[in-house]
Structure 1
Amino acid sequence: MRFGFVGSFGSVVEVVDMAVEAETHGWDGFFTWDGISLEGLEEAWDPWVVLAAAAVRTSKIRLGALVFALPRRRPWVFAKQAVTVDHLSGGRVVLPVGLGVPDDRAVSGVAAEAPTVRERAELLDEDLAILEHAFRGETFSYSGKHHTVTDMRLLPRPLQQPRIPVWVVGSYPSERSMGRAARWDGVVPQLRGDRAMDPMTPADVAEVVGWVRAHREPGPVPYDVVIQGVLPEDPQEAVAASRALAEAGATWFIESRWDPKTATPDVLTARIRQGPPIL
Structure 2
Amino acid sequence: MRFSVTFGAVGAGRDPRGLAELARMAEDCGWDGVFLEDYLVYQGDLAEPAYDPWICLAAMASATSTIRLGTTVTPVPRRHPWQLAAETVALDHLSGGRLILGVGLGDPSDPFLTSSPRELAEKLDESLEIIDALWTGEAVQHQGRHYRLDGAQLTARPVQRPRIPIWVGGNLLNPAVRRRILRWDGSCAYKGSTGAAEQITPDDVRRLHADREAALSRSGEGDRVGGAGGFEVKVSGGEPGAFAEAGAAWWGRWIAPGPLADAREILRAGPPDR
Q: Settle same-fold status: TM greater than 0.5.
A: yes
Return closer, same or farther for 1:190/1:91 CA change in 2, 3 Å cut-off: same
Match of 1:29 in 2: 33
Q: Deviations over 1:120-145 (max 9, x none)?
A: 00000100000111100011121100
Q: CA deviation at 1:102?
A: 1.1
Match of 1:234 in 2: none
Match of 1:188 in 2: 188
Match of 2:210 in 1: 210
8 Å contact from structure 1 (residues 7, 19) kept in 2: no
Q: Deviations over 1:27-58 (max 9, x none)?
A: 11111110012334743211110111111111
* 1: CA distance, partners of 2:57 / 2:194: 34
Q: Deviations over 1:135-186 (max 9, x none)?
A: 0001112110011112211021111111111101253233322111111111
Return closer, same or farther for 1:82/1:225 CA change in 2, 3 Å cut-off: same
Q: CA deviation at 1:255?
A: 0.9
**How is 1:153-164 mapped onto 2 (pairs within 5 angstroms)?**
153-164=153-164
Match of 2:272 in 1: 277
Match of 1:253 in 2: 251
Q: Please report the TM-score for the alignment, with normalisation by the length of structure 2.
A: 0.88
Q: 2:229 aligns with which of 221, 229, 234?
A: 221
Match of 2:179 in 1: 179
Match of 2:242 in 1: 244
Q: CA deviation at 1:69?
A: 0.7
* 2: CA distance, partners of 1:11 / 1:194: 24
**How is 1:1-279 mapped onto 2 (pairs within 5 angstroms)?**
1-8=1-8, 9=10, 10-12=13-15, 13-37=17-41, 38-40=43-45, 42-107=48-113, 114-192=114-192, 196-217=196-217, 219=227, 221-229=229-237, 241-258=239-256, 260=257, 263-278=258-273
* 1: CA distance, partners of 2:209 / 2:195: 18
- The percent identity for this pair of structures is 39
Partner SS for 2:127: helix
Return closer, same or farther for 1:78/1:278 CA change in 2, 3 Å cut-off: same
Q: Deviations over 1:187-231 (max 9, x none)?
A: 1222235985123122333333333333345855221011135x7
Return closer, same or farther for 1:172/1:31 CA change in 2, 3 Å cut-off: closer
8 Å contact from structure 1 (residues 179, 215) kept in 2: no
* 2: CA distance, partners of 1:266 / 1:184: 37
* 1: CA distance, partners of 2:45 / 2:115: 23
Q: Please report the TM-score for the alignment, with normalisation by the length of structure 1.
A: 0.86
* 2: CA distance, partners of 1:256 / 1:208: 22
Greater displacement, 136-145 / 205-214: 205-214
**CA RMSD between the two structures:** 2.0
* 2: CA distance, partners of 1:3 / 1:22: 10
* 1: CA distance, partners of 2:135 / 2:109: 31
Return closer, same or farther for 1:91/1:133 CA change in 2, 3 Å cut-off: same
Q: Structure 1 unaligned runs (5+)?
A: 108-113, 232-240
